[in-house]
Chains A and B, each alone.
Chain A
Amino acid sequence: MMNSRTTAYARHAKWRHVIIAIILLFMLISALPNLYSDKVIIHLENNSSQNEQIFPQQINHLLANHNLVADEVKSSSAGTTIILKNKTDQHSVENLLKREYGEYFSFSSSMVSDAPRWLKSLNGKPIKLGLDLSGGVLFVLDVDTERALSDRTKGIASEIKALAREKRIRLTKVKQENNYSIVISYPSSQQNAYKDLSTKIKRSYPELTQKKLGENQITLAYSAQEQVKFRQETMKQTLKTIRGRIEELGITEAVTQKQGKNRIRIELPGVHNPEDARRIIGATASLDFYQLAENSHSAGIIKMTDENGRILKMNSKVVFSGDSIKNARSGQDEMGMPLVNLTLDSVGGKKMSAFSKKNIGKPMVTVFSEFYRNANNETVKKSKVINVATIQQHLGSQFSITNMSSPQAAQDLALLLRAGSLTAPVTIVQQRSIEATLGTDNIDNGIKALTVGISITLFFMAFWYRALGVIANVALASNLVSLLGLMSLLPGAVLTLPGIAGLVLTVGMAVDTNVLIFERIKEELKRGRHVLSAIENGYKSAFSTILDANITTMITGIILYSIGYGAVRGFALTLCLGILTSMFTGVFVSKALTNLTIRENKSQLLGVKL
């Protein structure tokens, strides 16, 4: 009986060891790509055979003149391949080459890791490094608050028209005079009726000041003070939206700042091709939903062509725009077609509910707009109809946009919608790759210091706890490897120098786990238990203490992660992952190692004579 129980236990333990070994191996492989570095390969292809071949010497000479260094240059009559070690140089080298050889050659570039082939085939990626360690991309966005003000005034003008129509008040003219004012004229017969309308306008738009121009003419205008306020509000909202978008992408250590009066400065870590980043931010897009006009002759109609060349006529009044969207997720309908599920906030929900009730069976148009700068440096709006959907039922605050062209398109749209819509046109005015904000010396010193710190800890543990200390050290090392592996698996995790320090400090937590266990074992041994049962009991009773301590820290970590931003979020992520790995390695890995190495016939353990 006794015998079969011990063999069952042994079999159980063996399985547990196998699982632990598999997990550790998986983490090790995930962490491995961090040992290798990425290289940039720029390929120049000869456009026609008549062009002269470029010789490596020429390129080296050209690069040296501009303080750039290539790792390797290979050349043949078909084209030239340049390998760069320094990723931050990519942009400037490409620009330089384009200027010099752009006429005769076409360019392509790719990023290649120097990891062995088997590792690449597993598709592992190294952790992204933060702005302080490896630089990134800088964007300066211009927010056209003037245009936003003008759009807002235009919107108010059309809403006043609608209001007058509703109240059956005849106005002779409602005209947007300039960016911030509207002129209204009315016939003398409507004097009293207008007074009524005027109070209504005052209540709906308290930011506007009314001024009598003539007998029957009035201007509504934003005062200078209100204009400043409007611009500030717009900037604040835009900044918030852009931060939201970057966060949606999972990049935790980006820097977003307001620059001057109407610019936004964004520094994105871990991205070295500005074009890539530009595509991901999608910062310049906004979204509006329109009703298709029934009567093509009525006032205020926008015409637009969809991708099939059909001309759509829409009421100029927006049903609701992207800023009412609370949540958006991409998904599939019953037929497996991609769609985007939307949830609106209470304001948008009410609007949608009222609108859809009246318009069942009628189409609604989704318009995606993007702003860019043309050659004359003017902001130009490019709008595109992305979807025309029929309203099939009375909709509330939840509904979906169907007819998406692909799952990828649905995902992209959901991302943009989630992060909020921009009220002001935004264009990119500057983009540049930036170098690491900490110099190489600082980074080297930091890494050196951390190595010294870890070594002190490891030496102490081995000295103080002897055999068990060595086991603890193996557990600590596997803790670091597991943490690195986990962070490499997460696409959004970015490592900064303080982040690395935080990583090293999780070693402190792992040390704590081991020390708690060992002190327990010592207590059990002093009470006269045998080695193996002392170890078993020590691990068991220390576990509840460890669990309590770690769960509370985890609670803090999770709350900080869900609410925090930027560096705080990055740190919270490292903290939470560190707790998980230190529990795993401190308890399970070191227990397995102890079981494998410590035998019953010891004469002394942890300084206790047996």
Chain B
Amino acid sequence: MNALLLKQTEALSKFRLASFYFASIFTLLALFSLFFKGLNLGLDFTGGYLTEFTTQQSITQNKMEGLLTSFLPDTFQLSSAENGTYWSVQQVDNDRSLKGKTWLTEFSEHSGLTIMPQDAIYIGSQVGDELIDQGGLALLTSVIVILFYLSFRFEWRLAAGSVLALFHDVIIVLGIFSWFELSFDLTILASLLAIIGYSLNDSIIVGDKVREIMKRNKEDKIEAIINLAIKSTIVRTLITSGTTLATILAIWFFAGESLSGFAIALFSGILVGTFSSTAISATVPQLLGLTADYYHKKDEEICQLP
């Protein structure tokens, strides 16, 4: 290895270690925010107040949404029936969004519409309590199964690296939603699942390269092997993440309010996931003391056979 390359790998190693500590700090910050601020759970999870009314005129949904947005202080969900004459408004149950229970009469005076109140009632959450328990169980099971599969295919230290990177990505995205008090609904939950998929993908591809290089070079230090693996997968990582991020940015800018939470979750998740595939899933095995011996021992065992 010539001097320049050596310098480069040294720089990469330093960068990796530094970003590993960075990632740990960010994870702690995210956990801190999750514990003390909690998530701003959306209507899907909390339930809230449902107000139904009819209008004499038929109005488009966009127009009604505009009218209500300027009137109600917090977010709400609107749905219409019977050609824009029957309306249901769902609001979160907190002090900020409940502008008194009489907001409808005020609204009908201000809006200039002929509004007939129908029903105002408390409405429960879309997801049962059992889902929250089951969801936790599902995550735990899948993490364990993945850990087993990867340990079987790779080595336990590489597997641990991927799973830690996975936790890091999910926690950071949750932390972002908690820190900026963004509404967390079922769609965001679904995008978290997508992030899990992407994060694993990235980690495995780096891990796979590490394994391949370890099988080929016996002498190199583990640090150099990992650096080489990262360098040879960097083009792929950038292209895949880049094109996906471009699609998400398009959703963020053009799709409007309805998909912005989804776009924010995926954007941050994929950005963090790309970062963690270098900073965590490749660095953790090194810190845990991965050596190339593991694969060579296996080879020797096979070679001993006549």
Contacts and interface: CB of A to CB of B under 8 A. Distances in A.
B126 interface: yes
B61 A439 contact: yes
B255 A505 contact: no
Chain A at the B interface: mostly helix, strand, loop or mixed? helix
Contacts of A68: 83
Contact of A498 (B191, B240, B249, B254): B191
A438 interface: yes
Contacts of B80: 434-435
Given A256-B126, A445-B254, A556-B193, A564 B121 contact: no
B167 interface: no
B89 to A, nearest CB: 12
Interface stretch (A191-199, A206-214, A508-516): A508-516
A257 B125 contact: yes
Interface in A289-311: none
Nearest to B133: A563
Given A258-B47, A434-B81, A549 B205 contact: yes
Nearest to A523: B232
A120 B124 CA distance: 42
A318 interface: no
Contacts of B125: 257-258
A439 B81 contact: no
Interface in A485-536: 497-498, 501-502, 504-505, 507-509, 511-512, 515-516, 519, 523
Interface stretch (A381-389, A420-428, A565-573): A565-573
B128 to A, nearest CB: 6
B145 to A, nearest CB: 5
A478 to B, nearest CB: 17
Interface stretch (A8-16, A35-43, A455-463): A455-463
Interface string A39-50: 000000000000
Nearest to A436: B61
Contact of A567 (B189, B198, B249): B189
B204 interface: yes
Interface string B93-107: 000000000000000
A380 interface: no
B99 to A, nearest CB: 21
B201 A559 contact: no
A556 B247 contact: no
A504 B44 CA distance: 24
Interface string B224-258: 00000000110110011011101111110111111
Contacts of A88: 81
B111 interface: no
Contacts of A67: 58, 83-85
Contact of B187 (A243, A509, A559, A567): A567
Contacts, number: 235
Contacts of B65: 439
Contacts of A516: 205, 236
Interface string B46-81: 010010000000101110010000000000011111
Given A89-B83, A508-B243, A567 B130 contact: no
B250 A432 contact: no
A512 B65 CA distance: 40
Contacts of B191: 498
Nearest to B77: A437
B126 A504 contact: no
B168 to A, nearest CB: 16
A549 B200 contact: yes
A570 to B, nearest CB: 8
Nearest to A265: B123
Given A511-B244, A560-B142, A446 B258 contact: yes
Contacts of A565: 127-128, 131, 134
A545 interface: yes
Contacts of A571: 190, 193-194
19 contacts: A89-B83, A434-B79, A434-B81, A435-B80, A445-B255, A446-B258, A449-B250, A450-B247, A460-B239, A461-B243, A501-B255, A508-B247, A516-B205, A548-B153, A555-B146, A559-B138, A565-B128, A570-B190, A571-B190
When A and B form their complex, which 5 residue pairs have the shortest distance between CB atoms, in order from nearest? A258-B124, A453-B247, A449-B254, A453-B250, A571-B190
Interface of B: 44, 47, 50, 58, 60-62, 65, 77-86, 121-128, 130-131, 134-135, 137-138, 141-142, 145-146, 149-150, 153, 186-187, 189-191, 193-194, 196-198, 200-201, 204-205, 208, 232-233, 235-236, 239-240, 242-244, 246-251, 253-259, 262, 266
Given A67-B58, A497-B258, A565-B134, 15 more contacts: A256-B126, A265-B123, A432-B81, A435-B79, A438-B61, A452-B254, A502-B194, A511-B243, A516-B205, A519-B235, A548-B204, A555-B145, A555-B146, A560-B142, A562-B138
